[in-house]
Structure 1
Amino acid sequence: MKSITISTIQAMEILDSRGNPTVRVFVELSDGTASVASVPSGASTGENEAIELRDGDMTRYAGKGVLKAVANVNHKLAPVLLGMDPFKQALIDHTMIALDGTVNKSNLGANAILGISMAVARAAAKSANTPLYQYLGGTGARRLVVPCMNIINGGEHSDNNVDFQEFMAVPLGAPNFREGLRYVAETFHVLKGILKDRGLATSVGDEGGFAPNLNSNEDAIETIIQAIEKAGYKPGIDIAIALDSAANSFSTDMCNNYDLKWSGTGAMKSNDLINLAEEWVKKYPIVLWEDPLAERDLDGFKQFTARLGDKIEVVGDDLFVTNTQYISRGIAHKEANSALIKLNQIGTVTESIEAVRMCRDAGWRYFISHRSGETEDTFLADFAVAMDGGHLKSGSASRSERVAKYNRLLEIEQQLGEDALYYWK
């Protein structure tokens, strides 16, 4: 039998959910199998993330065009990859990494490289007549994720006076994904009514959560709890709360000085934030806290984890940027107990899987995540099931680029039938 090879790789410029350009890649195999993948883009980014290549041409899209990345796919990466075996994902990804030749993919662009990486994986799965989640995770991949739904946006994902970036509802008490999604979607709609009754805005932020001006950061939590109860659920039993401070956005030195400027709370030190977190964890049903401190505040992260790591999941995002170099340091120094996993933060499917494996081997959790600039591509949903991490954040119950991931997970659950699993821990 003639071996299957990559016959075509072609890229184009499209728009993401914020109306900014991003990369879409088409791949065709020698057996006629075709696939496409679209690359997301982040707004709140860590300084060590892989670089998404932008044109810098101020006459197009305010400099945010990606024609250089598209050209790199078509004229630099494709000629090297054509004829390769699409089932050798690691070889393909490492070939692109070597061709780029930089530590952060700044030469060819993480957006160019990831587009090919995702499209090749999807094409190989289709050619093998295997669902993507099983192609990436094995035939035993059957655990659905608990959807950590972002229902109030703040920080750099909105224009309100809430400092913390994400307030998420977590349906850990639901019997399955379908019901868990219903729990938090209903809570989202009840929350809208509560905000309207208070005369607050019900417009949404980048990730589909509401972005009202509230009395305080704590008011966001209390309003969500009110919505959970009004929707007929028990806080902490049916639905818990997860937070993403994205503390880089309000740190004045990326270390131990902070200014909760949007809410008017003012200057704080690391220990002040840790004390606040300890108070909230005692008071509210919080189960996960992402980036509670800035990425260079390593001592702060260690203290936060020492004081709260046995009670909640402490997630490093900007701290680790899906990079095994930084995750290994975090494991060694107990900076957290979980890492956020974002495909475009590291730039290939293979490296994302390696980051997950490192977390798993250390007994850490790992939290699969979308980006604030998304597309309708559902690769992330399959990837989350493949990685067996148990939870995912993909935005709110609004905006089609968010809902597309949830709908794909519903499809996967239906395909798995009685074999599907759903649990938090």
Structure 2
Amino acid sequence: MEPGGRRQEQRGLQGPRQEAAEYYRGHRVPQRMEEALNALFPQRPADLYGELANYFSKFSKAPVICKLVGRKVLDGVGQPTLEVEIYCTVKNFEKRICSTVMSSHSQIPENALPETTEADEKERNYSVNTAVEWVNESLNTMLRDLKPTDQCKVDKMLGEYFTKKVEEKKEIQKQEEVKEEAEATLALTSCTPSATALPWKKKAAKSGKKVAVAERTIPPAEPIESVLCGSLAIGGTSLAIAKAGATISRIPLYLHIALLKHDQDSPKEMALPLPMITLLNCEKNSPAKLKLVKEVMLIPPVQLSLKQGIERVLDIQKEMMRLLEPPGKALPSPQLADSKKGRAHNTGKKAPPRALKRISHLGCLITGCDNLEQLLLLMQTACNNIGLELGIDMYLAMNCAAHELMDYVKGKYEILTGMFKSPDEMVDMYVELINKFPFIIALIDPLRKEDRQQWNNICCALGSKCYLVAEDAATYISKLKIDQNINIPTCSGVVLKYINQTMVSDLIQVTGLLDSQRHITILGSPDGESSDDSIVDLAVGLGARFIKLGGLSRGERVTKYNRLLAIEEELAKNRTLREANLEFIAFAEESHPEKQVSDMLPPPKQDSLPPQLSQPAQEVGGLPAQLPENSTLT
């Protein structure tokens, strides 16, 4: 065949292909093709080709991970943390699926020494930089071509990688210790015995006496679990994979977590966790101030929707701001007070600026009270002023953070400046407190985790009236998973935080253990929180009883409440929303059925609360002296 004829034949073969290509590029459909389609499919849908594309896409290769990207970003308090991005190959194209931002695992105290702050910042930066390196190099190569929906396999590989890094760290430390011992031995042999032996013995004797006194008073504090630099990469990658799996499956993250927990068995109904909304952050480190309470939180009744509960909390917060900043109080700046703008503030026409400036990193008001009675009466007054009653329309929870109160020299808790209580006296004080103020339905960390006998006593005495929750007193999630048991003191439940090397599979396993032992699960935000709202989906999917997110200020806090509201709306629309419940556990009946609560503990003394705690507060915005009557949960 002549060359010209071959080219003409090729043009003829390319005719239908060219027409099809033009159609798929959005060009006009040729008349003869349209007629053929009308003859073959007279009742065809308007988007036939879209339907065909969706049909054949079912036979395409499942999306797989093609790239992980880690970068250093800032959290809600300006501290460095880790962001992990997941890229997948979807229909032969690389596509960014999602990202997560981890919360920082520690918060630098405001009153810390400059050298301590500088050392902590250096360690944090080094840890985040190490995590970024892990993600971009080792984990990026290790997880490539895996399915993002295979959470168990990914978490297993992440766990093995972390264990390997821990072993490497231990080996390095062991080598350093051997080197130090060799140097110390060499230094001792080069010195005369008379010059070194006597001072060494005297120093050891002194230190031994001090330790003996402390040990006789209270159980010593358990050593703090070391955090491996770079561990953020494990938790960040695991959570990012979970989000990618939910995105690929086209379902919300909370439903994806629920399916993982229940072995792909979709729950018929889901309950929202009740919010513990922080209203006040007390200044525990200030002199002559109450030290017993770190946070005061509000818990709306279960009958209210989340939206109604948040609106009620906002009303209480506004009234608290009014009580804490009376309109007639002078402003700190004399220039502002003398101006028209200053007089406008003093007349109450605008929000008082001082209260707005005193916002904690937890997203709530910062205040200081002289005693506990003053604080509780202030809360009661704020509610009464807007027509609400504590114990019926709203409940209180308190984070005592007892581990921050312990004076290890005296072996007692310093609940007020100069006022000390032994662990047994703390139990008596809490019993009287809850009996006097029954609207307090949760105490977080009322004791150190080392005071296990006192935890047992307080749970037997108050477990049927109040949740006794362990936050700092709980063991790290990694230890809970290894021990296959709840390695915590006797308590009603545990606050879990998604930090460091925690993985999604760890949370699922630990919450399963807590459920089986009738403990409640509370998911809590760390101090250095980020704007990532995944913790809300985790709490809903895991079936947590409460969620502790901080206050209703600051973007990284409010974002999570907005996500919780969106989930409530979605569940209500799908008619899968189940009402939460508040059921306490009677520990005395379980542990000692033959004994009553009164047999477990002696009756509280009338003067078990110190005078500073039991005397009514004076001149606190016209607070009433009358206390609310006992009320029960509805």
Q: Secondary structure at the match of 1:229?
A: helix
What is the CA deviation profile of residues 185-222 of structure 1, one whole-angstrom value per residue up to 9, with x for unaligned ones? 22122111111129696212121121112122342222
Partner of residue 139 from structure 2, selected from 77, 81, 85: 77
Counterpart residue number, 1:99? 161
Please say which of residues 86-95 and 355-364 is displaced more in the overlay.
86-95
Partner of 2:594: none
The question of 1:281 aligning with 2:434 is answered yes
Do the aligned partners of 1:15 and 1:22 also contact (CA within 8 Å) in 2? yes
- Relative to its length, the structure with more helix (as a share) is 2
Partner of 1:293: helix, strand, or coil? coil
Name which of 72, 92, 104 aligns with 1:41. 104
What TM-score do the two structures reach when normalised by structure 1?
0.88
Q: Shift in Å at residue 110 of structure 1?
A: 2.9
Which of 48, 60, 67 is equivalent to 1:8? 67
Is 1:27 matched with 2:92? no
Shift of 1:331: 5.2
**Per the alignment, in what secondary structure is the counterpart of residue 366 of structure 2?**
coil
For 2:81 and 2:287, locate their aligned partners in 1 and report how far apart those are by CA, in whole Å: 23
2:249 matched residue in structure 1: 128
1:90 corresponds to: 152
Residue 259 of structure 1 deviates from its aligned partner by 2.1
The alignment's C-alpha RMSD in Å is 3.0
Cα contact 2:474–2:489 (8 A) shared by 1: no
Corresponding position: 1:423 with 2:580: yes
Alignment partner of 1:175 out of 290, 300, 304: 304
Give me the whole-angstrom Cα distance separating, in 2, the residues matched to 1:187 and 1:170. Answer: 12
- CA shift, 1:145, in A, is 2.0
**Offset at 1:249?**
1.3
Displaced runs of 4 or more, over 6 A: 156-160, 327-330
- Given that residues 167 and 221 in structure 1 are in contact (C-alpha distance below 8 angstroms), is that contact kept between their aligned partners in structure 2? no
Aligned match of 2:545 in 383, 387, 390? 390
Q: Distance in 2 between matches of 1:272 and 1:380?
A: 37
Q: Which residue does the alignment assign to 1:222?
A: 377
Q: 1:272 maps to which residue?
A: 425
Distance 1:44 1:162, change over 3 A: farther
CA distance in 2, matches of 1:277, 1:230: 27
Higher normalized contact order (CA 8 Å, seq sep 6+, divided by chain length): 1
Question: What letter is aligned with 2:361?
Answer: D
Matches within 5 A, 1:323-362: 323=477, 325-326=479-480, 335-344=490-499, 347-362=502-517
1:112-127 aligned within 5 A: 112-127=233-248
Q: Does 1:208 align with 2:270?
A: no
Give the drift of 1:252. 2.8
Kindly provide the amino acid, as one letter, of the partner of residue 101 in structure 2. S
The whole-number CA distance in structure 2 between the counterparts of 1:119 and 1:297 is 38
Equivalent residue for 2:614? none
**Displacement after TM superposition at 1:420 (Å):** 2.0
Give 2:231's aligned residue.
110
Tell me how far 1:146 sits from its aligned partner.
1.5
Once residues 341 and 180 of structure 1 are traced to their aligned partners in structure 2, the CA distance between those partners, rounded to angstroms, is: 23
3-state SS in 2 of match to 1:82: coil
* Matched residue type, 1:109: G
- Note if 1:364 corresponds to 2:493: no
Give 1:16 shift.
Answer: 1.2
- Return closer, same or farther for 1:19/1:95 CA change in 2, 3 Å cut-off: same
**How far off its partner does 1:174 sit?**
4.0
Same amino acid, percent of matched pairs: 22
1:190 matched to which residue of 2? 319
Q: Which has the larger radius of gyration?
A: 2
- 1:406, CA displacement in angstroms? 0.4
Indicate the residue corresponding to 2:130 in structure 1: 68
Secondary structure of the residue aligned to 1:371 is: coil
- Stretch moving more, 153-162 or 370-379: 153-162
Q: Which moved more, 1:353-362 or 1:80-89?
A: 80-89
SS at match of 1:124: helix
Residue 194 of structure 1 aligns to a residue in which SS? helix
Q: 2:412 aligns with which of 240, 244, 257?
A: 257
Unaligned stretches of 5+ residues in structure 2 = 1-59, 109-115, 168-224, 260-265, 330-351, 583-634
In the TM superposition, what whole-angstrom CA distance separates every residue of 1:361-397 from its partner, at most 9, and x where no partner exists?
1111111111111111110111111122232110111
